[in-house]
Structure 1
């Protein structure tokens, strides 16, 4: 069976029937996942506008649920974009509206407007005489335009609005693909494979320009690359199809003008996703011995691992200035010092501290000493960390730790599993280090006692 192509057409009645169904696919996926977990669904305005965010807000969200919901939503957005470009082909206009279909919340208004769009008179455009081949000037224009969109988007979204969301990570690469695909094919039609290659070249050069201009580092680009590459390739197919139809008249390029409005919209409604992560370890020592190591100031001896080597912040040591509730704790991290206040102090039982100020969440890998990337500060924050000591039989102790953090980057279901992984690795590193220190101290004390006796 041959799949629908961006170059085809969809009539208004068919679009009016299918587009709402695709709009509701993410909602249905979220509702089914919540029901399977026994979590009640609150179908308020927030759910209808941003269903994925509602799922992400549910406590203890399994990574597999996050992956399923995000993949379903991304496929639905791609199908909706395809359907909308075909609808725009029928009208000869509305390509900017079709490009918005990859951004949640904005989809609803765009579908409504596109469904009501009348048919405009078609005129032969530059694509009416397309033939296989290549036009070097237009290919270069397409690639350079894609590079310019990426740099401009980061300057406007991240540095001006402080927004990291769907518009930057999905809509921008999608429009890079649309623009590059359209410009490269608007005179002579290239193959789909060549167009895809040009789109990826434009995206790669654009991200290289971000590094060269000290706007981003290698790690952030690497983490966002899979999502951006998929969106760019879909956009490239759409841009090539509009050029093939031949009556776009440059209208797909007007889609880029919508990006600042989308950035502003997302900046006005940023995510504030709480993340609770827990870990436990059993230590062959008494709660008192574990408590002494917990409030000690010895550095963590084990290496940071792959995540730390990639630049993500990892703990080095903690130092208490005083004791009891209200005491200040200085948490030394690879990126700086966090200032914390003790809120619970029960020797041998429980220690809790609240983070007052914290260093950057990561240090970008870059040839420059300083990178102008706002996301390293304030977009992922740790709020409260608690250690609980539970006595076990045989003089052993279970040490539980719970860390509460906040993530402020969309798409939350894409970034949340990565954030949870980083938290989990850091917690395990701290617990393993404490266990090693306490048990090594116990063995040393036992050996010394045996010698003395």
Structure 2
């Protein structure tokens, strides 16, 4: 007996698969971000996996369809889901772009799970689809009750300056306004440093590092001129301004990326120059940490580079 010839997906089936999957996914996303206020594995790993699996199973239910067509359906469903987040003003474009690699990967994983379920148990596809959709809020609820450990990360950036530490120190404690950024990352809405001011001197002085979205308030905890300036962070602005045609203020802009401490260490080099190290200690409460720390570390390095390069220019060309 010959196998049925694979058919093209009908428009009706595409609409059914996309709408059912997206409606379920939007409800889950609302639950995670607005009710639980958790940006974790359920949202970034299991939800796109379920989007891929359910859309694939609905698309291939009781009809032979080419695997490539079902894969494209899964990716199209993810796209519609993301567009919905933009239209509903739940997210901005830059955050969706950051989440795209992990979302695409696990949607593809979900597509393969869906194909496996179709081949092994076609009759159970409706029940499996419902079970998968219900598993998302179940996992999100479990994560919310269990909580997630928050680790302190540090990022250090180094630059060498052709000037003595005594000359560099003045630009470390405060510096005038920087030029407008040329780096693409800072043209997407991510906050960037503008200038720094200080009130007082020594331990207890208050440093303000002003960014495009507001000010970091930094009480000085170590003042070892001209070797080490260390400070805590007691107030900070939002980390970015979302790119969106709507007014978007997602919850992850408040309290999910938290700067805790910072320091500048100056080391005198044999030739009379200075090795300047800038370090930031921060907490990132968005999970999975292995993925989101790649983004946050990269952004912190770019911020450091902008500040350190400015200090270098001030010291070398006073």
Q: Do the two structures share a fold, i.e. TM-score over 0.5? A: yes
Kindly tell me: are residues 295 and 247 of structure 1, through their superposed partners in 2, closer, same or farther at Cα, counting changes over 3 Å? Answer: same
Partner of residue 181, structure 2: 303
Query: In the alignment, is the contact (CA less than 8 A) between 1:387 and 1:401 conserved in 2?
Result: yes
Measured in 2, the distance between the counterparts of 1:394 and 1:196 equals: 60
Matched, 1:400 2:277: yes
Q: Which of the two has greater strand per residue?
A: 2
Match of 2:13? 138
Where do 1:259-408 residues align within 5 Å? 259-267=136-144, 268-301=146-179, 303=181, 305-368=183-246, 370-408=247-285
Q: Is the 8 A contact 2:174 2:195 kept in 1?
A: no
Q: Distance in 1 between matches of 2:72 and 2:234?
A: 48
Q: Which has the larger radius of gyration?
A: 1
Question: Is the 1:131–1:188 Cα contact (8 Å) retained in structure 2?
Answer: no
Q: Distance in 2 between matches of 1:343 and 1:367?
A: 42
CA distance in 2, matches of 1:150, 1:264: 15
TM-score scaled by length of structure 1: 0.65
- 1:19-418 correspondence runs (5 A): 132-133=6-7, 134-244=9-119, 245-248=121-124, 250-253=126-129, 254-267=131-144, 268-301=146-179, 303=181, 305-368=183-246, 370-418=247-295
CA 135–243 in structure 1, closer or farther in 2 if over 3 Å, else same: farther
| Equivalent position SS for 1:237 | helix
**Cα RMSD after superposing both structures:** 1.9
Change (3 A) 1:137 1:281: closer
CA distance in 2, matches of 1:159, 1:178: 25
Bigger relative contact order, structure 1 or 2 (CA pairs below 8 A, ≥6 apart): 2
Q: Is the 8 A contact 2:18 2:55 kept in 1?
A: yes
Structure 1 residues 298 and 229, CA gap change in structure 2 (3 angstroms): same
Which position in structure 2 is the counterpart of 1:427?
304
> 1:326, 1:356 → 2: CA distance?
13
Whether the 8 Å contact between 2:175 and 2:311 is mirrored in structure 1 is no
Summarize the Cα distance change of 1:397–1:242 in structure 2 as closer, same or farther, 3 Å threshold.
closer
Provide runs of 4+ in structure 1 moved above 6 Å.
Answer: none
Alpha carbons of 1:136 and 1:432: their partners in 2 closer, same or farther (altered >3 Å)? closer
Partners of 1:402 and 1:163 in 2: CA distance: 28
Contact 1:302/1:429 (<8 A) preserved: no
Q: Where does the alignment leave 5 or more consecutive residues of structure 1 unmatched?
A: 1-128, 442-453
Secondary structure at the aligned position of 2:124 is classed as: coil
Alpha-carbon separation, structure 1, partners of 2:125 and 2:22: 22
Give the unaligned 5+ runs of structure 2. none
Which has more helix, going by share of residues?
1
